[in-house]
Chains A and B, each alone.
Chain A
């Protein structure tokens, strides 16, 4: 069953803690993306990766870090430097990310709440 999985579905973080959100895909997609969505708003790009061992900052990368050691996996770490991390985090992937009309497909999301 092909798709994108994200875990956990819900995550609670205390002030000052780093947390890592998992994103795995078995679609053989080259490109992977992390977005943040705040209530009533659209998606904002945090980081993206077009190939293994390479990634680029998006519009709101401050306070976040990523790695891309495997094609299937693109974990996102929300560090203590991110001042307002409470949001819905969405991972997406696409076939190549380097040509027009490569459609991005989304995982189910992780809802992060800071206590």
Chain B
């Protein structure tokens, strides 16, 4: 069973701080990794994806991937109360036709 693990949280950070969300996965053949944000009662929305080792930046968000350690993270700089949500890590299988989701980390940004 391919697994994707996330700390369920809640992770509480003050407004303006950096929030660091982590995800580990078990399938070494995985090639692509996705971060989704889900507000309470809503559907997930894509933040960004990454498939190369290293960092990928998009605005206040940075995804980091280390395939050797089977670890992917999401950094949110200058956290805002509107960033308060559950963040889902998703790992794509080698065939590229299925995603396995982690349980999500609940982030709370306090004013």
**Which residues of A does B touch, CB under 8 Å?**
31, 33, 35, 40-45, 48, 50, 58, 90, 97-109
Given A42-B6, A100-B92, 16 extra CB contacts under 8 A:
A31-B97, A42-B4, A42-B104, A43-B88, A43-B90, A45-B100, A90-B43, A98-B95, A98-B96, A100-B32, A100-B96, A101-B51, A104-B34, A106-B36, A106-B43, A106-B45
**Which residues of B does A touch, CB under 8 Å?**
4, 6, 8, 31-32, 34, 36, 42-46, 49, 51, 88, 90, 92, 95-104
Contacts of A100 in B (CB 8 A): 31-32, 51, 92, 96
Closest Cβ–Cβ distance, residue B100 to chain A (whole Å): 8
B44 pairs with A103, CB closer than 8 A: no
The CA-CA distance from A48 to B42 in the complex, in Å, is 21
Contacts of A33 in B (CB 8 A): 99
Q: Which of A42, A45, A105 contacts B103 (CB 8 A)?
A: A42
11 residue pairs of the A-B complex, CB under 8 angstroms, read: A40-B8, A42-B88, A43-B88, A45-B98, A98-B95, A98-B96, A101-B49, A101-B51, A101-B92, A106-B43, A108-B42
Interface of B is mostly: loop
B97 pairs with A107, CB closer than 8 A: no
The CA-CA distance from A21 to B31 in the complex, in Å, is 32
Closest Cβ–Cβ distance, residue A21 to chain B (whole Å): 13
Closest Cβ–Cβ distance, residue A100 to chain B (whole Å): 4
Contacts of B96 in A (CB 8 A): 97-102
B95 nearest CB neighbor, chain A only: A98
Contacts of B36 in A (CB 8 A): 106
The CA-CA distance from A58 to B101 in the complex, in Å, is 13
B43 pairs with A98, CB closer than 8 A: no
The CA-CA distance from A80 to B100 in the complex, in Å, is 26
Contacts of A90 in B (CB 8 A): 43-44
